[in-house]
Amino acid sequence: MRWFPPKYPTILSPMWTPLLLLLLYFAAADHGGATIISVTDHGAVGDGRCYDTVAIQAAIDACAGAGGGRVRFPAGGDYLTATVWLRTGVVLEVEAGARILGGRRQCDYPADPARWYVVVAEGVQRVGITGGGEINGQGEAFVVRRDPRKNVMVSWNATGSCRGDECRPRLVGFIDSVDVVVSDVTLNQTAYWCLHLVRCDHTFIRNVSIYGDFDSPNNDGIDIEDSNNTFITNCHIDTGDDAICPKSSTGPVHNLIVTDCWIRTKSSAIKLGSASWFDFRRLLFHNITIVDSHRGLAMQIRDGGNVSDVVFSNIRISTKYYDPSWWGRAEPIYITTCPRDPGSKTGSISDVLFMNISAVSENGVFLSGSPGGLISNLKFKDINLTYKRRTKYPSNLYDYRPGCRGMVKHQTAGMTLEHISGLEMENVKMRWHRSNVKGWNNPLSITPSTVNKLSFKEWASEIC
Ligand SMILES: *[C@@H]1O[C@H](CO)[C@@H](O)[C@H](O)[C@H]1NC(C)=O
Ligand SMILES: *[C@@H]1O[C@H](CO)[C@@H](O)[C@H](O)[C@H]1NC(C)=O
Ligand SMILES: *[C@@H]1O[C@H](CO)[C@@H](O)[C@H](O)[C@H]1NC(C)=O
Ligand SMILES: *[C@@H]1O[C@H](CO)[C@@H](O)[C@H](O)[C@H]1NC(C)=O
Ligand SMILES: *[C@@H]1O[C@H](CO)[C@@H](O)[C@H](O)[C@H]1NC(C)=O
Ligand SMILES: *[C@@H]1O[C@H](CO)[C@@H](O)[C@H](O)[C@H]1NC(C)=O
Ligand SMILES: *[C@@H]1O[C@H](CO)[C@@H](O)[C@H](O)[C@H]1NC(C)=O
Ligand SMILES: *[C@@H]1O[C@H](CO)[C@@H](O)[C@H](O)[C@H]1NC(C)=O
């Protein structure tokens, strides 16, 4: 459904009705049966040293065998474990004061690196994690060398089971699963991605706190991969890499709502991509606070997927520069379709609304389509952009990574526009902080031959 133009939407436009119904569905959903089993009944000791894997798995299997219910991790225990598998109808209840600790050894994880999680569910229904406690990936054990710019991490690639420098276990994964609820838990110190959805449908993530080492790469907050009907609310994410990251690798991402979240990251707070082989449709991000992040709202479309019908509303952003080894150059908003490699397909981005957004940033907004990968029908309404330098990092770089053109020298502008068809700005204010106007004398950088259908209404810029 195309919802603008001509009619300007509110977040309650009919397009969102299925999603609001989804909320009611979650409110009513009853997860699991009545059985409650404690892992200690199956011999878990919770001393943080002996592996409780067998006891935990036995409790989960017994619970599933009894028709589903809850598997309780009593308060006070540190339950060290290798990978455990959730079963249909089972909800883990990690009590406040209890911790599940992920193993630090490769032999704690299955042979297939795509199944390297501390807690994983695959092909199941009505599963969840809750209870007020913590799941901890012991990420500090995976730091080879601390570096305030970017830590050097362990990579379990020597065995050849995976390649490159990202062979580390994730924390919690749901694969090919339906009706997933993660609520009221802390996910702490993941070694790699933290909470990962793969081809899931109907997922509800509420009141989850995610903490990761600010200097460690790839410790993403929530990765929503190839999944539909996902609702994320009241989450607190403070981590090194991308905080909320929809990706499309084997299928599209449809219907994602994220509301009422607080985010700090050394990478992008919200990022579509960079894995973007399929489409992203109907995404809503509302009432989000983004603090001291490297990027605010980002789309890195690199592999031919098409993005459409996305709303960002009521969002406060502050961005700053960090070491350039991290993707990001302090852009509050960064929208790109540059293909990854010369051989990659080109995706498009259309019908995106930014409404009621205020940002304080060290760099400008970057809106960059590509030949054959236009950005079309963008609307900015009620936006305050304040530009203020806070760090000494160089400011004159455009960042097209990953792949594409890499980093390109360019004069900093309040807003850079490339390859766009249809951009409407209404009540957009740009303010430059008086202390550092030098090198910023360019409110708008437009490459005319590639930008079409611009409209400005109540657009203002000033030095303050
Ligand atoms: C294995 O990981 C290390 C550390 O990140 C990296 O330097 C090396 O290139 C990787 N080797 C292979 C074969 O991927
Ligand atoms: C959120 O979860 C924490 C535990 O992680 C719990 O203490 C708190 O009461 C929860 N808040 C709400 C509103 O349920
Ligand atoms: C996260 O884990 C670290 C150490 O692993 C610990 O110091 C910290 O208190 C934990 N944070 C929370 C919020 O549980
Ligand atoms: C998501 O919805 C699309 C469109 O209906 C469908 O093609 C895709 O298979 C769905 N994915 C999942 C994981 O249900
Ligand atoms: C916005 O989200 C924050 C949590 O980040 C919450 O405390 C606040 O109540 C929300 N505001 C509204 C208007 O719902
Ligand atoms: C994206 O849209 C283009 C143009 O309509 C289409 O050719 C391409 O197949 C779409 N990409 C995907 C992944 O569906
Ligand atoms: C705009 O967003 C802010 C939060 O960033 C919120 O407090 C305010 O109520 C919103 N204004 C409108 C008109 O929705
Ligand atoms: C932008 O700033 C003006 C004051 O100059 C304020 O009235 C308005 O609410 C702000 N809008 C947003 C979206 O922050």
Instruction: Summarize the confidence of residues 12-20 as an average pLDDT.
Output: 56
Q: Give the chain's mean pLDDT.
A: 93
CA of 184 to the centre of ligand 2 (A): 5
Asked whether the predicted pLDDT for residue 15 surpasses 80, the reply is no
- Asked if the model's pLDDT at residue 7 lies above 60, the reply is no
User: Which of 446, 432, 425, 418 has the alpha carbon at shortest distance from 388?
Assistant: 432
Q: With 70 as the cut, is the pLDDT of residue 453 above it?
A: yes
> Hey, whose CA ends up nearest to atom 10 of ligand 8?
384
Residues 312 and 225 in one domain: no
What total number of domains does the chain contain? 2
User: According to the model, what pLDDT value does residue 26 have?
Assistant: 61
Q: Is the peptide bond before 332 cis (omega within 30 degrees of 0)?
A: no
CB of 136 shorter than 6 A to ligand 3:
yes
Q: At a CB cut-off of 8 Å and minimum separation 6, what does 237 contact?
A: 209, 210, 221, 222, 243, 244, 261, 262, 263, 264, 265
Give residue 43's pLDDT: 98
Residue 190 sits in the same domain as residue 315: no
Cα gap 262→289, rounded to integer Å = 5
Is the Cβ–Cβ distance between 327 and 340 less than 8 Å? no
Per-residue pLDDT band for 410 (boundaries 50, 70, 90) equals confident
How many CB atoms lie under 10 A from the CB of residue 44?
24
The answer on 272 and 211 residing in a single domain is no
**Nearest atom in ligand 7 to 314's CA:** 2
351 located within any domain = yes
Percent of the chain with pLDDT over 90: 86
Ligand 3: residue whose CA is nearest its atom 12? 188
Contact present, 317 and 334 (Cβ < 8 Å): no
Q: Would you place residue 19 in the very low, low, confident or very high pLDDT band (cuts 50, 70, 90)?
A: low
Q: Is residue 3 part of a domain?
A: no
Q: What backbone phi and psi angles, to 5 degrees, belong to 187?
A: -110, 115
- Parent domain of 127: 31-241
Residues framing ligand 8 (Cβ under 6 A): 356-358, 382, 384, 429
189 lines ligand 3 (CB under 6 A): yes
Structural domain contains residue 255: no
One domain, residues 175 and 227: yes
- The length of the chain is 464
Containing 21, the helix (H) or strand (E) segment is helix 17-28
Q: What is the CA radius of gyration of the chain?
A: 22
Do 459 and 317 share a domain, yes or no?
Answer: yes
Question: Are 148 and 228 found together in one domain?
Answer: yes
pLDDT at 412: 87
Question: Are 303 and 222 contained in the same domain?
Answer: no
Does pLDDT of 360 surpass 70? yes
Mean pLDDT of 110-138: 98
Q: 455 CA distance to ligand 8 centroid (A)?
A: 21
Whether ligand 6 lies within 6 angstroms of the CB of 306 is answered as yes
For residues 133-155, give the mean pLDDT.
Answer: 98
How far apart CA 331 and CA 11 sit, in angstroms, is 25
CATH number for the domain that contains residue 56 = 2.160.20.10
For the four alpha carbons of 272, 273, 276 and 278, in that order, the dihedral sign comes to: negative
H, E, C per residue of 411-438: CCCCEEEECEEEEEEEEEEEEECHHHCC
CA distance readout (Å), 431 to 135, 359, 435: 43, 10, 12
CB of 351 closer than 6 angstroms to any ligand 3 atom:
no
Quick one: tokens of 161?
């089971």
pLDDT value at residue 436: 73
Q: Which helix (H) or strand (E) holds 26?
A: helix 17-28
87, 230: one domain: yes
* pTM listed for this prediction: 0.96
Is the pLDDT assigned to residue 331 strictly greater than 70?
A: yes
Q: What is the pLDDT of residue 12?
A: 46
123 within a domain of the structure (yes/no): yes
Say if CB 110 and CB 83 are below 8 A apart.
yes
The number of C-alpha atoms within 13 Å of 441 and in the hemisphere containing its C-beta is 2
Ligand in nearest proximity to the CA of 235: 5
**Which of residues 86 and 443 earns the better pLDDT score?**
86
424 confidence band (pLDDT: 50, 70, 90): very high
Q: Which of ligand 5's atoms lies nearest the C-alpha of 259?
A: 2
Q: Which ligand is nearest to the CA of 135?
A: 3
Share of the chain above pLDDT 70, in %: 92
Name the residue at shortest CA distance from atom 1 of ligand 2: 184
User: pLDDT for 231-286, tens place per residue?
Assistant: 999 999 999 999 999 999 999 999 999 999 999 999 999 999 999 999 999 999 99
How much is the pLDDT for 441? 66
Tokens of 319: 């961005």
Residue 210 scores a pLDDT above 90: yes
CA 35 to ligand 2 center in whole angstroms: 23
For residue 219, the Cα-to-chain-centroid distance in whole angstroms is: 10
Q: Which spans in 32-120 are helix H?
A: 53-65
Distance CA 312, CA 315 (A): 7
Q: Is pLDDT at 23 greater than 70 in this prediction?
A: no
What is the distance between the alpha carbons of residues 11 and 371, in angstroms, rounded to a whole number?
31
Could you read off the pLDDT of 290-308 as tens digits, one per residue? 999 999 999 999 999 999 9
